[in-house]
Amino acid sequence: MDVYGIKSCDTCRKALKELGNPELVDIRENGLPEDLLRRAAETFGNDLLNRRSTTWRGLDEQTRAKPMLELLREHPLLMKRPLILAGDRLYLGWGEDVRKALLG
Protein backbone atom coordinates (compact mmCIF):
# COMPACT_ATOMS: atom_id res chain seq x y z
CA MET A 1 0.00 0.00 0.00
CA ASP A 2 1.27 3.45 -0.93
CA VAL A 3 -0.07 6.60 0.70
CA TYR A 4 0.55 9.89 -1.12
CA GLY A 5 0.21 13.07 0.90
CA ILE A 6 2.26 15.40 3.07
CA LYS A 7 3.77 14.91 6.51
CA SER A 8 2.04 17.94 8.01
CA CYS A 9 -1.48 16.95 6.86
CA ASP A 10 -3.68 15.90 9.80
CA THR A 11 -5.85 13.73 7.57
CA CYS A 12 -2.80 11.94 6.18
CA ARG A 13 -1.49 11.33 9.69
CA LYS A 14 -4.86 9.88 10.79
CA ALA A 15 -4.94 7.58 7.77
CA LEU A 16 -1.37 6.42 8.34
CA LYS A 17 -2.03 5.66 11.99
CA GLU A 18 -5.22 3.71 11.31
CA LEU A 19 -3.62 1.81 8.43
CA GLY A 20 -0.73 0.63 10.62
CA ASN A 21 1.77 3.28 9.52
CA PRO A 22 2.52 2.36 5.91
CA GLU A 23 5.14 4.41 4.07
CA LEU A 24 4.10 7.97 3.19
CA VAL A 25 5.21 9.34 -0.16
CA ASP A 26 5.50 13.07 0.50
CA ILE A 27 4.19 14.87 -2.58
CA ARG A 28 5.74 18.12 -1.39
CA GLU A 29 9.20 16.57 -1.73
CA ASN A 30 8.63 14.00 -4.48
CA GLY A 31 5.61 15.16 -6.44
CA LEU A 32 3.22 12.57 -7.83
CA PRO A 33 4.38 10.13 -10.51
CA GLU A 34 2.91 11.15 -13.88
CA ASP A 35 1.21 7.80 -14.52
CA LEU A 36 -0.42 7.87 -11.08
CA LEU A 37 -1.48 11.50 -11.52
CA ARG A 38 -3.20 10.66 -14.81
CA ARG A 39 -4.88 7.57 -13.37
CA ALA A 40 -6.10 9.50 -10.32
CA ALA A 41 -7.47 12.26 -12.57
CA GLU A 42 -9.34 9.66 -14.65
CA THR A 43 -10.68 7.96 -11.53
CA PHE A 44 -11.68 10.98 -9.43
CA GLY A 45 -12.04 13.80 -11.97
CA ASN A 46 -12.30 17.26 -10.44
CA ASP A 47 -12.60 15.78 -6.94
CA LEU A 48 -8.82 15.31 -7.06
CA LEU A 49 -8.36 19.09 -6.83
CA ASN A 50 -8.71 20.56 -3.32
CA ARG A 51 -10.33 23.95 -3.82
CA ARG A 52 -10.53 24.56 -0.06
CA SER A 53 -6.77 24.50 0.48
CA THR A 54 -4.57 27.39 1.47
CA THR A 55 -2.60 26.81 -1.72
CA TRP A 56 -5.77 27.25 -3.84
CA ARG A 57 -6.75 30.44 -2.03
CA GLY A 58 -3.30 31.87 -2.77
CA LEU A 59 -3.62 31.42 -6.54
CA ASP A 60 -4.78 34.17 -8.86
CA GLU A 61 -7.76 33.65 -11.18
CA GLN A 62 -5.56 33.16 -14.25
CA THR A 63 -3.66 30.33 -12.56
CA ARG A 64 -6.86 28.75 -11.24
CA ALA A 65 -8.21 28.63 -14.81
CA LYS A 66 -5.44 26.26 -15.94
CA PRO A 67 -6.31 22.62 -16.68
CA MET A 68 -6.40 20.46 -13.55
CA LEU A 69 -3.44 18.23 -14.48
CA GLU A 70 -1.27 21.24 -15.20
CA LEU A 71 -2.22 22.80 -11.86
CA LEU A 72 -1.42 19.59 -9.98
CA ARG A 73 1.95 19.26 -11.71
CA GLU A 74 2.88 22.84 -10.80
CA HIS A 75 1.30 22.77 -7.32
CA PRO A 76 1.11 19.18 -5.99
CA LEU A 77 -0.27 20.46 -2.67
CA LEU A 78 -3.54 21.21 -4.49
CA MET A 79 -4.28 17.47 -4.52
CA LYS A 80 -6.92 16.27 -2.10
CA ARG A 81 -5.19 14.03 0.42
CA PRO A 82 -4.41 11.30 1.01
CA LEU A 83 -4.31 9.42 -2.27
CA ILE A 84 -4.01 5.73 -1.42
CA LEU A 85 -2.92 3.01 -3.81
CA ALA A 86 -3.91 -0.37 -2.39
CA GLY A 87 -3.19 -3.18 -4.80
CA ASP A 88 -4.71 -2.01 -8.06
CA ARG A 89 -7.34 0.25 -6.43
CA LEU A 90 -7.14 3.98 -5.77
CA TYR A 91 -8.80 5.76 -2.86
CA LEU A 92 -9.02 9.49 -2.23
CA GLY A 93 -9.38 11.14 1.15
CA TRP A 94 -10.02 9.48 4.48
CA GLY A 95 -13.80 9.52 4.69
CA GLU A 96 -15.95 6.77 6.15
CA ASP A 97 -16.28 5.05 2.77
CA VAL A 98 -12.49 4.80 2.35
CA ARG A 99 -11.99 3.63 5.94
CA LYS A 100 -14.62 0.88 5.50
CA ALA A 101 -13.09 -0.24 2.20
CA LEU A 102 -9.57 -0.47 3.63
CA LEU A 103 -10.19 -1.46 7.24
CA GLY A 104 -13.37 -3.49 6.92
Instruction: Please give the positions annotated as active site.
Output: 9
Between the alpha carbon of residue 60 and those of residues 31, 46, 57, 72, the distances in Å are 22, 19, 8, 15
Between the alpha carbon of residue 49 and those of residues 21, 22, 81, the distances in Å are 25, 24, 9
Distance CA 59, CA 29 (A): 20
